[in-house]
Structure 1
Amino acid sequence: MKKKSPRNKTIDIDLEEGSHYLERVVSLTKEASMEEVCNKTLVGDTFEMLPLLPKESMDLIIVDPPYNLTKTYHGKKFSKIKQEDYYIYTVKWLDLVLPLLKPNGSLYVCCDWETSLIIGQVLMEKINVRNRITWQREKGRGAKSNWKNGMEDIWYCTKSDQYTFNVDAVKVRKKVIAPYKENGKPKDWQETEKGNYRNTHPSNFWDDVTIPFWSMPENTAHPTQKSEKLIARLILASSNPGDVVFDPFLGSGTTSVVAKKLDRNYVGIEQNPLYCVWAEKRLEMATADKGIQGYTDGVFWERNTLPQQNIIKKDGIE
């Protein structure tokens, strides 16, 4: 086995090494109360687990379902299916997820450009769609006969017209290139020793999110891991401390980890025991370190701004 570089922080322990983490996960065989599942990783088929969870118990649900691509997830293969079959697949999990959402709860669904066309249609039939966020991925395979696929979507929905949206918690701090002053004082920006900045309202296009990679402490060997910074935006905007955040396709645990770091409760379902091990490992790490790269002192920093560069250098990321 090839030895990793000391700077490679990727979590990829196997089931044998992580067997003690599996002792922490829960497998449901009957209907459970919130007390039984709160702050737990549930291992099993999400379609079997969802009917066992308490109705109207989740304040925020973040869903990152398998995209309609042929991909292997450490022994679990998802094969691309016809669009009409993926539509049926989406309806199937959504009909099980929506009863779990509180009347004032919010739902976010991640997808690529192709599945977005299907998922968006289903959502509009079943829930209030508020917006579609598009975020720019740094990574992406090049194409010789098409445009490189460098974007993904996140659909933002609410169950009713009464919902949480903490806009001040998700403002983006950007550099002020041409500072304008009025009566000798900064107008709508701050003057600091580290530069001039303005906190701006977030739009539905995000170009400051870094895909986790090998020298980031949050990185795992999961093939489609979302970044903590990305999920932090959703959680801060659409939930409050003490709320319950739920992810029915947990993967390597990012949603639960970020919820814990931001003082929310969490519930996550993942069918692959190996990914449950990685999730529990990360949850243990989150107890000691609540840091989220790119989110510092309650502020989301624009990529390549000076404080963010200092954080990257400190973590050994260049």
Structure 2
Amino acid sequence: MDDSLIPLRAPRFARYEHTLGRGYADAVEGSSLILGDALGVLSAMPAQSVQTVVTSPPYWSLRDYGIDGQVGLEESVYDFIDHLAQLFDQVWRVLRDDGTLWLNIGDSYTSGGRTWRAPDRKNVARAMSLRPATPDGLKPKDLIGVPWRLAFALQERGWYLRSDIIWEKPNAQPESVRDRPTRSHEFVFFFSKREKGYKYDVDAVRGPNGRRLRTVWPIKTQAFREASGHFATFPPTLVEPCVTIASEPGDLVLDPFVGSGTTPLVAGSLGRRFIGIELNPEYLTMATRRLTKAGFVDITPDDSGEAGSDAAL
């Protein structure tokens, strides 16, 4: 992040309970974190209200977050792709015609017939008591190709797939494998709603030696110390170029899978408004504390007139 950028206080911050049936038309006027199912919340948001979306949905079959309605534990990877594709249909609706989508998604391997996964000494969160079976059409130990399957599904639904970006992880976590290379990258897909005329400031971010940004981004993973219950935070330095290129100060940035709050944190630091949606109340509490600590937001009364607090979060 540019040291000359001074973190800006968001103009308004509120929390909404989707299960109470409240509307979200007023949320887009300021900055909001919303507790609820992403598809349901997006369906209630105004059309053409968001400038850019930067998000990282849960990956298929890699984590059990222990909450009903979670994405990523669908019985089939094809159900997972279809679930996300339907959700991004709503993202399309709320996105401005000159808006863009930046989608980080990781891959996974077939289970080889095992319905569980043992813990790893260096990654305790890897353990799962429930794991989907090998998808139809694939074999044990196959790399599934989830990112490209999702990218093609969105392409078929009308999105323009403008670029595949390789997030290279110089400090990638070791894997206990002896029959293939250790994976040290993920994909970020860049989509637009139309062929031309979408917001993309080519001079806003430069690569090494002042060159225009290229498609391989070497960015170290970054631990968030307070995220003891959240195992998949993505680094602010991955989000910063996306927000900077695709929006201007005052624009609205959306993350429908906000997790520990990295996208709103970056959006706030760059003077953008934000909406973050999260199904897990523990993660939303984590994001709220993180953003409040950074000075980007204040906890203000919600629709019920009751002031927000840690107890209420």
Task: Determine if the alignment matches structure 1 residue 153 to structure 2 residue 187.
Answer: yes
CA deviation vs aligned residue, 1:49-86 (integer Å, no higher than 9, x gap):
11111111000012311111231236566426423222
2:220 aligned residue (210, 222, 242): 210
TM-fit CA distance, 1:100: 0.5
CA deviation vs aligned residue, 1:148-189 (integer Å, no higher than 9, x gap):
1111001101112111112222113x4xxxxxxxxxxxxxxx
Give the 3-state SS of the residue equivalent to 1:266 in structure 2.
strand
Q: Work out whether residues 91 and 122 of structure 1, in 8 Å CA contact, stay in contact via their aligned partners in 2.
A: yes
TM-fit CA distance, 1:214: 5.7
Q: Could you say which residue in structure 2 is the equivalent of 1:45?
A: 37
1:1-318 equivalences in 2 (<5 Å): 24-28=14-18, 29-35=21-27, 38-73=30-65, 78-79=72-73, 81-113=75-107, 114-125=145-156, 126-137=158-169, 138-142=171-175, 143-160=177-194, 161-172=196-207, 174=208, 198-207=209-218, 209-213=219-223, 220-221=227-228, 222-287=230-295
Taking structure 1 as reference, are residues 277 and 141 closer, same or farther at Cα in structure 2, changes over 3 Å only? same
Q: Work out whether residues 73 and 223 of structure 1, in 8 Å CA contact, stay in contact via their aligned partners in 2.
A: no
Q: Work out whether residues 128 and 159 of structure 1, in 8 Å CA contact, stay in contact via their aligned partners in 2.
A: yes
Q: Work out whether residues 58 and 244 of structure 1, in 8 Å CA contact, stay in contact via their aligned partners in 2.
A: yes
TM-fit CA distance, 1:93: 1.0
Distance 1:266 1:212 in 2: 22
TM-fit CA distance, 1:285: 2.4
Distance 1:101 1:131 in 2: 18
Q: Work out whether residues 265 and 296 of structure 2, in 8 Å CA contact, stay in contact via their aligned partners in 1.
A: no
Q: Work out whether residues 136 and 152 of structure 1, in 8 Å CA contact, stay in contact via their aligned partners in 2.
A: yes
Q: 161-170 or 269-278, which moves further after superposition?
A: 161-170
Q: 24-33 or 128-137, which moves further after superposition?
A: 24-33
Normalised to the residue count of structure 1, the TM-score between the two structures is 0.70
Structure with the greater alpha carbon radius of gyration:
1
Distance 1:34 1:102 in 2: 17
Q: Give the percent of matched residue pairs that are identical in Structure 1 and Structure 2.
A: 24
Distance 2:292 2:83 in 1: 33
Normalised to the residue count of structure 2, the TM-score between the two structures is 0.71
Q: Which letter maps to 2:105?
A: C
Q: 234-243 or 112-121, which moves further after superposition?
A: 112-121
Q: Work out whether residues 70 and 80 of structure 1, in 8 Å CA contact, stay in contact via their aligned partners in 2.
A: no
User: Where does structure 2 lack aligned partners over 5 or more consecutive residues?
Assistant: 1-12, 108-144, 298-313
Q: How many residue pairs get matched?
A: 239
CA RMSD of aligned residues (A): 2.2
User: Where does structure 1 lack aligned partners over 5 or more consecutive residues?
Assistant: 1-22, 175-197, 290-318
